[in-house]
Amino acid sequence: MKGLSPLDIIVFLLYFAIVSGYGYWIYLRKKKATTDTKDFFLAEGSLTWWAIGASLIASNISAEQFIGMSGEGFFVGIAIAAYEWIAALALVIIAIWFIPIYIKNKIFTMPQFLTNRYNDTVALIMAVFWLFLYVFVNLTSILYLGAVAINGLVGGQYLHVIMVLLAVFALVITLGGMKVIGYTDVIQVAVLIIGGLATTYMALLIVSEEFGLGRDMIAGFKTLMTQAPDHFHMILEKPGPDASQEQINKYLIVPGIAMYFAGQWIVNLNYWGCNQYITQRALGADLQTARLGILFAALLKLMMPVIVMLPGIAAFVLYKNGSLPELEGGSKDGAYSAILSFLPSGLKGLSIAALTAAIVASLAGKANSISTIFTLDIYKKYLRPDASEKKLVWTGRVTIWIAMFVSVLFTWNDTLGIGGEGGFTFIQKYTGFISPGVFAMFILGMFWKRTTGSAAIAGVLAGFILSVFFNNYAPALLGNETLLYSAFPNGKGGFEIPFLINMGWSFFFTMLLMIMISLAGPRVNPKAFLHDNEMFKISRPVIVLIIIVLMLLTALYVRFW
């Protein structure tokens, strides 16, 4: 495919006009966002439950999923859906137990949580950590993967132009504040789901046609299952001594049943429950609205693999059948773009609009969180405590400009090597370096009154050091087969432990260290949060949603175990 048809361009421009126009209308209705920090950063609690749920998904689903997870679907198969399906269960846990603690204690940023529960030192360390992570891992990878994908669809010669346009589009939405982001995300999610489902539908029709079964979506899906049966198992077996390097590489990404006792929970509970970028959507709402929004997001999360993973498996089957020679020796991250190249005029434009919606919504959400943390937890606290509301909003906007500029700078020539690592793996791996320490600090801080500030500082540092140790040095120093792990040849001359296993052990030893340090302190830390049974009571609508999520999740695992 060398470009887009006029119909594709019209469809895409229509999407752009609707999102921009709706965002501007929301902005005009709430001009107070220009001078009110609570409104600018938190939408003043005015987001409805469906807007919160839609915004959570729009901010989460990005090029990381469309390109990265589709690529892993191409390579590994349905096992990669664990990231999405366990996320739904994590959202249930967060709705019941995490959100009540945040809302009761009037927490608006994650560093604020750390200040209130521990001390300013812990909060400052983590504010800096998060700023670097959001800018140099999340913003850059989302922008790079998105630009590469769209560039491939429009001729392959406009990478930098697309990169800048994506950044500018996200910038315009972000500068309007959280309310504009939240409500435009509703449209973004609608486009994302409609365009994504249309792409999956067409991918299954294409598979059906390629195998001489006519235009039949069900036949296409059955063909995927018969042509790539190894791609439809949630649990991968541990590689034996005679395993191929390809089998080993798959296990390194999703290490079978072991990951459900290790890093998979840490990844999801940390991401959805201890992450400014995500929790910010619900922090300004009342408890019932926040819970319903989070559970609505959980329901949407269950369907995401259909949108972002199945096209990757379809690309694998077509490639194996000789229909996608362009993927020969290429990056698995090209799978989704290869499927889009088959789509008819008009639908290509809708699919690119869906991809753009995912990228722009994620960039906007990330930039707003960067702005919130820097402005409220660093600038206001340490640089200008007497700054006016207007000055703080102005500072937030400048921060957004700078963050977006830095992300473009680092993605211009792929300075961080995102393309070589594989987009989905790049984000999960480097986020995983701090996840064990951060999650240990949050979970103990929420639910164990004895946890101390000294333990929190030790936990953050130990979690990072242990993650680096297990990831880079453990096999060479401790051996390839121990009671804690099995290391496998990585095809690059060395041995590697699956990073989800690394994360599990890093978390375990970090928790152990924090508990030991806290036991030397007072029986109840003076800054511990107070709980009461009323906080955790759930209403009937919330119970109904929880049951629906659990039943659907159980059915999926029973079918594809």
The number of distinct structural domains making up the chain is 1
Q: Would you say residue 288 lies in a domain?
A: yes
**Beta carbons of 411 and 140 less than 8 angstroms apart:** yes
DSSP H stretches of helix in 154-275: 159-174, 178-210, 217-227, 245-253, 263-273
Strands 488-489 and 495-496: antiparallel
CA–centroid distance for 498 within its chain = 20
Q: Would you say residue 557 lies in a domain?
A: no
Is 2's pLDDT higher than 60? no
Is 89's pLDDT higher than 90? yes
Closest of 287, 271, 242 to residue 95, by C-alpha: 287
The DSSP output letter for 526 is T
CA–centroid distance for 518 within its chain = 32
CB neighbour list of residue 19: distance below 8 Å, 6 or more residues apart: 173, 184, 187, 188, 191, 357, 360
Q: Would you say residue 530 lies in a domain?
A: no
Q: Determine the residue type at 154.
A: V
pLDDT value of position 177: 67
Which of the residue ranges 184-188, 369-373, 482-486, 552-556 would you say has the lowest mean pLDDT?
Answer: 184-188
pLDDT band at 249 (very low <50, low <70, confident <90, very high): confident
Query: Residue 481: beta bridge partners?
Result: 486
Q: Which two tokens stand for residue 547?
A: 């049951």
Is 342's pLDDT higher than 70? yes
Is 223's pLDDT higher than 80? yes
* Residues composing the chain: 561
Q: Would you say residue 1 lies in a domain?
A: no
Question: What's the rounded mean pLDDT across residues 118-134?
Answer: 89
Q: Which two tokens stand for residue 358?
A: 């995912």
CB neighbour list of residue 505: distance below 8 Å, 6 or more residues apart: 262, 466, 470, 484, 485
- Residue 401, exposed/middle/buried by CB under 10 A (0-12, 13-18, 19+)? middle
Q: What is the CATH number of the domain that holds 111?
A: 1.20.1730.10
Give tens-digit pLDDT for 488-515.
Answer: 998 888 899 998 899 999 999 999 999 9
Whole-angstrom Cα Rg for the chain? 23
Which tops the pLDDT comparison, 397 or 172? 397
Q: What global pTM score does this model have?
A: 0.85
Q: Which two tokens stand for residue 175?
A: 């500068």
- Cα–Cα distance between 147 and 166 in angstroms, integer? 8
- Cα–Cα distance between 162 and 370 in angstroms, integer? 23
Closest of 49, 50, 57, 51 to residue 87, by C-alpha: 57
pLDDT band at 38 (very low <50, low <70, confident <90, very high): low
DSSP H stretches of helix in 423-472: 423-431, 435-447, 453-468
- Cα–Cα distance between 422 and 171 in angstroms, integer? 26
pLDDT band at 42 (very low <50, low <70, confident <90, very high): low
Q: What are phi and psi of 481, to 5 degrees?
A: -130, 110
Domain span at 296: 6-233+271-418
- Cα–Cα distance between 352 and 10 in angstroms, integer? 12
Q: Which two tokens stand for residue 87?
A: 């996320």
> For helices 82-93 and 287-308, what crossing angle results, to 10°?
170
**Beta carbons of 371 and 400 less than 8 angstroms apart:** yes
Neighbours of 469 (CB within 10 A): 17
Q: Would you say residue 444 lies in a domain?
A: no
Give tens-digit pLDDT for 421-466.
Answer: 555 566 766 777 888 999 999 999 999 999 999 999 999 999 999 9
- Cα–Cα distance between 395 and 380 in angstroms, integer? 10
Q: Would you say residue 307 lies in a domain?
A: yes
Is 202's pLDDT higher than 80? yes
Alpha-carbon torsion 24, 26, 29, 34, what sign?
negative
- Cα–Cα distance between 214 and 206 in angstroms, integer? 9
- Cα–Cα distance between 535 and 102 in angstroms, integer? 11
Longest dimension (CA), the chain: 72
Which tops the pLDDT comparison, 32 or 472? 472
CA–centroid distance for 135 within its chain = 14
Q: Which two tokens stand for residue 207?
A: 């598979």
Q: Would you say residue 398 lies in a domain?
A: yes
Q: Would you say residue 90 lies in a domain?
A: yes
Mark residue 499 as left, alpha or beta (left: phi above 0; alpha: psi -120 to 50; beta: remaining).
alpha
